[in-house]
Every structure is written in structure tokens, then in C-alpha cells.
Amino acid sequence: MITRKILVLFALAFLATLGYGIMIPTLSVHAHSLGASHSAIGVIISAFAAAQLLTQIPMGRLSDRIGRVYLVVFGFGMMAFAATLYHFATSPAQFMVLQALAGVGGGCLWPPLMAMLTENVEPAERGRLLGSFNTVFFLGVGMGPLIGGYIAGAFGHDAVFTAWTGVALLGALLCFFTIKESAKERRAAAAHARATAAADAPLIKPGLWPTFAAGCVVRARGGVCSSFNNALLPLYAVALFDATPAMIGSIMFIHGLGLAFFNIPGGMMSDRVGRRLPALAGSLVATAGVIWYSAATGYWALFAAVGLAGAGAAFSTPAVAALTADVCDPRRRGEAFGYFLTSFNLGMVLGALVFGFVAEMLGLWGAVFTWGVTSLALSLFGLLIRETLASPAAELSPPLRA
């Protein structure tokens, strides 16, 4: 059942991804104009994910102990602060620092958001709910670059940072004023956390660590794809057919659109047939799209290839997200999602760094082809996922409320 609180959580996810996405089409091009090499651009893009990688697990644990809302508000505030400082950045090194600062903000808000979403939801409904959530999430991913490309073309690079600041502040205000968390609820959360620690509850249910790890690898593949697209796809499009900012934004928009609208069928399928098949099939379809990048000869071919990659990744995402909620102890759900989200960010860090250096050695086309082969290898980890749809009785304790 979609409640008012869930709708607010959907809106917060949309604003978080929309704001960051607005500046993506111009970030690598702008950094390149300031003297950044392909490898340096990879470092700049990866800094955002690296900061999230280091903060999401501790922030997930903290949200299990003190509650969720203030962390989400703080995360949006950090992103707004970083976006404002971009106006004063004049070197690639400064871009890297600001990307890391924005990444800390993202690390504060995503684990509590996803924990709030999956609380009080029956296991058999998680796939569909997470599919709907991811649809909203990736609408922001897709619309951000589309809007940002046109803003940059019409008003210049600085305008996209102003837009990002405004969107992040809107997210902070929306969370603060619409999701209430009383002192009583925070005390209950702290007491519940102490009881959990005393019971020494395992993070992952016995025998399911390999399944959880395989799901994280599949999710990491999506992180590599996102960082590759953010760092090198704009430059590849410029080299291939002299793409304009608006064209780059539209290509990234179709990726986000594919990510958005194939999440719901992927989530529904995972509730019906289990988590393994959608996770594996979606990743393989995404890999086919990535390999198609290297065969593209113009705008429309690359546009279609990027859309296919997004659609496949979307189909697999709700399955592995629901799998995380299935296999973890409910009392440590924020922490479990911290690990799950960290796997995505690990992929983003490695993708931007590794393929930035590969592009230096083999050129942009060589990096594209190497990424296709790597995507196939990561997708095959889906074969290791064990079916684990939990029953309501398997939820060992009442969930924390935001």
C-alpha cells in the first residue's frame, strides 16, 4: 500500500538524483576545459562515490540507533553546500574535493531512506515497492542530465550548480517538515539498538552470505556503468559525432528513462519468480547494451545502446535490493543497506578510476570495449544467488520507525 510517507520518500529520492544529475552532462566537459585529463576526470567522478563508500555503512548503523530523519536532512544540506562551492572551483583538484563533499551528503541520506522504505512492508511486496521507488529514483537520474544539458547550453556551466543547490535545499526542507520523528520514537530506536547489540544479532541470516555477496556484485556492476557513463560517455559522444551538451543530456536521459521504467516490471517479476532470474537476466541485457556502445557509429545508435543498457540494469535492480531486505536481520536493516549501497559506490569508484586510465592507454573506444567484457563477467555472479523469499514470520523483530 502506498502511504503518504512512502510518497514523500519517493519525492526525496527524486530530488536527490535530479539535483546531482543536473550537472552531470557538463562536469567532465567543464573539468576537461580546465586541464583535466581522462584519468583525472575518472578521479573526479569517483570521488563522489568514494566518499559515499566510506560513509554509508557508518551512517546506516547510526540511523539504526538515533533514527532516520535528521541524517537525511543533513545529507541534503551537505549536497547544497557543495553545489554552492562549485561556483568558486577553478581547478580539477578543487572539483575532486567538492565531489567528495557532496558524496558525504549522499552517504548520509541513502541508507536511512531505503531503511524507512522497507520497514513495515511484507517480504512478498518488497520487489514491487522497490521497483516503484527505483522508477522515481531513475526518473531523477534521467531528467537531471536532460535539464542540465539545456541549462548549461542556455546559461553556462555555473547555472547548473545554482540549480543543484536549489533542488538540494528543497529536499532538506521537504524531509524536515513532512516526516516527523518524535523524541519518544528516537528513544525507542536507541533502546531497540541496545537490545539488538545485547542479543548479538547477525547482520545476514545463516548460510546466506554468498547470496548477499552475489547480489552486491550485481549491484556493483550498475555502479561501474553509472561512473563510466558520467566520466567517459560525454567525451565518447563528442569524439564520435561532435555531440552538443543538449545531445549528451538526451543520451543520458534515455539511460535514466530505461532505468526508471523497467524497475517496476523487474520488481514485480522478482516477487513472482524469485530474485535470481531478474537479477541475472537484467544484467545480461544491460551488458548487451554496453557492448553495443563500441559498435555505435552515430547519435541514434549510441542513443539506443545507452537506453538498452539502462533498461537491463533497471530490471535487475529491485531484485537485488529486495534480496538485501530478505537476507538481513530486520534489526540491522539500515546497516545492511549501507553495505548494499556501498557495493554500488565501490563499482562507481573502480569504474571511473579504472576506465579513466584504460582510456589513457587504449583510447576511448578501447575503454568502451573493455567495459563491455567486464560487465559480462560481473553479471555472471547472478548465477550464485540463492532463492530466499522470506515469509512474514521470518521477520524476527518489529522494525524501527523513522
| 3-class secondary structure per residue, the chain | CCCHHHHHHHHHHHHHHHHHHHCHHHHHHHHHHCCCCHHHHHHHHHHHHHHHHHHHHHHHHHHHHHCCHHHHHHHHHHHHHHHHHHHHCCCHHHHHHHHHHHHHHHHHHHHHHHHHHHCCCCHHHHHHHHHHHHHHHHHHHHHHHHHHHHHHHHHCHHHHHHHHHHHHHHHHHHHHHHCCCCHHHHHHHHHHHHHHHHHCCCCECCCCHHHHHHHHHHHHHHHHHHHHHHHCHHHHHHHHHCCCHHHHHHHHHHHHHHHHHCHHHHHHHHHHHCCHHHHHHHHHHHHHHHHHHCCCCCHHHHHHHHHHHHHHHHHHHHHHHHHHHHHECHHHHHHHHHHHHHHHHHHHHHHHHHHHHHHHHHHHHHHHHHHHHHHHHHHHHHHHCCCCCCCHHHCCCCCCCC
User: Which pLDDT belongs to residue 380?
Assistant: 95
Residue 48 amino acid letter: F
What pLDDT does residue 79 have?
Answer: 94
Question: Residue 388: its pLDDT value, please?
Answer: 67
**Residue (of 341, 301, 305) closest to 321 by Cα position:** 341
The Cβ-side half-sphere exposure at 340, using a 13 Å CA radius, reads: 30
Between CA 25 and CA 97 the distance in angstroms is 19
Residues of the chain under the 50 pLDDT cut: 182-184, 187, 198-199, 390-402
Local structure of residue 189 (DSSP, 8 states): H
pLDDT for the residue numbered 198: 40
Residue 204 main-chain phi, psi, to 5 deg? -115, 140
**Contact by Cβ (8 Å): 282, 218:** no
The pLDDT of residue 100 is 92
- Selection from 84, 92, 104, 100 nearest residue 28 by Cα: 92
| Cα gap 402→103, rounded to integer Å | 23
pLDDT, position 15: 94
Domains of the chain from N-terminus onward: 4-392 (1.20.1250.20)
Which phi and psi angles does 242 have, rounded to 5°? Answer: 55, 50
Instruction: Determine what percent of the chain falls in helix, strand and coil, rounding each to the nearest 5.
Output: 85, 0, 15
What integer pLDDT is reported at residue 400 of this predicted model? 40
